[in-house]
Structure 1
Amino acid sequence: SGDSAIEAYWKSVAWPAQGLFIGEPLAAPYRRR
């Protein structure tokens, strides 16, 4: 039970972080302009 709770928490944290890592390099050129 504890492992699944930690896993669920990590997934909820990991997905937004993954989106930021993928999105920032794509958005960087537009931010500089």
Structure 2
Amino acid sequence: MKNIFSPTPICYCLNVTEEEILYHVAEAYR
């Protein structure tokens, strides 16, 4: 799911909780 931090709609980030964002960030840099 590295595409999450490509040019994605800002709406997507608003619909995601902080925990989910942190989880995806951790996955991206693992």
Q: TM-score range, shorter-chain basis?
A: 0.3 to 0.5
* TM-score normalised over the length of structure 2: 0.43
Larger radius of gyration: 1
More helix, by proportion: 1
Name which structure has the greater RCO, CA cutoff 8 Å, separation 6+: 2
